[in-house]
Amino acid sequence: MLFHSETTNGILPTNAFIRQSLGLNLFFLRIMKEHSFFLAAGFLPKDADCTQQALYFMNSFNALLTEAVVLGNGNVDLAVLCSGEVVTNMTLKAEQKTQGLSGVPLDTRLTAQEQRLVPAGEIVNPAIERNVQELNQKAIVLTRELVKFKTKILDGMLSCQLFTFNFPLLIVHIRREALLFIEQLELLQRRRAIDPGQEVFCQKVFWDLQMAEHAQLLPIC
């Protein structure tokens, strides 16, 4: 995921800041967009306002992801692009099928654009540093709003005031990922240097839990 190993006096230099910020955004902005779609697809007609709010988040994250893709071309590590974190060879087909089944329009052109991303060389373009900072900040603000929305949905479900086809465990699960995204972005914005060994441990613990919950949900999906 995110390793702050390239440091100067404990501060993340521009080259590493840009690479890591864009890699993180390409990974998590798509996840936030897809979470918003899951939420939108789960409400009843009487809760159309919730559906519209979820679609607002989906479209807003799509717009930020578009920015990340434009900035990321030639400025993201090859390892990130080859890892399957950004898109896989099944992403476009899955979106096309989902769009056909749900009737919700998805930006498949953006996915095709992601598939054509060019990796960075040794040095990225330092002129985009400010743009990357602004992207990070916009992502922080929007993701905080999404966390509040997910919390509102969870509270409504647990108090029997709101019905959705999504399970409470799923809402807890996707909210946890949003909180991690915010935490990682805020560290980058402060140019904080993190011990790579500790980071590996923390990331493993986090994602082991997330994958275990994926497995729990599979039998009922």
Q: pLDDT tens digits for 51-109?
A: 999 999 999 999 999 999 999 999 999 999 999 999 999 999 999 999 999 999 999 99
Check pLDDT > 50 for residue 2. no
Inter-residue contact 2 to 80 (CB < 8 Å): no
pLDDT band of residue 197 (cuts 50, 70, 90) is low
Does the residue 5 lie in any domain?
no
Inter-residue contact 102 to 41 (CB < 8 Å): yes
- As a whole number of angstroms, the distance between CA 75 and CA 54 comes to 31
Check pLDDT > 70 for residue 149. yes
| 184 closest CA partner among 176, 149, 114 | 176
Check pLDDT > 80 for residue 213. no
Inter-residue contact 188 to 21 (CB < 8 Å): yes
Q: pLDDT tens digits for 5-29?
A: 555 566 899 999 999 999 999 999 9
High-pLDDT (> 70) share of the chain, %: 82
Q: What is the CATH number of the domain that holds 147?
A: 1.20.1260.120
Does the residue 205 lie in any domain?
yes
Average pLDDT over the chain, rounded to an integer: 89
Task: Identify the domain containing residue 194 by its residue range.
Answer: 14-220
26 CB-near residues (< 8 Å, 6+ apart) = 65, 68, 69, 72, 76, 80, 85, 86, 114
Q: pLDDT tens digits for 25-48?
A: 999 999 999 999 999 999 999 999
Does the residue 91 lie in any domain?
yes
Check pLDDT > 70 for residue 217. no
Does the residue 1 lie in any domain?
no
Does the residue 181 lie in any domain?
yes
Number of domains in the chain: 1
- As a whole number of angstroms, the distance between CA 101 and CA 98 comes to 5
Average pLDDT over residues 151-172: 95
Inter-residue contact 160 to 99 (CB < 8 Å): no
188 CB-near residues (< 8 Å, 6+ apart) = 2, 12, 17, 20, 21, 24, 136
| 171 closest CA partner among 43, 68, 46 | 43
Amino acid 221: pLDDT: 46
Inter-residue contact 16 to 4 (CB < 8 Å): yes
Amino acid 54: pLDDT: 98
The SS3 assignment for 10 reads coil
pLDDT band of residue 218 (cuts 50, 70, 90) is low
The SS3 assignment for 130 reads helix
Does the residue 184 lie in any domain?
yes
Does the residue 7 lie in any domain?
no
DSSP 8-state class, residue 120: P
- As a whole number of angstroms, the distance between CA 32 and CA 63 comes to 12
Q: pLDDT tens digits for 107-139?
A: 999 999 999 999 999 899 999 999 999 999 999
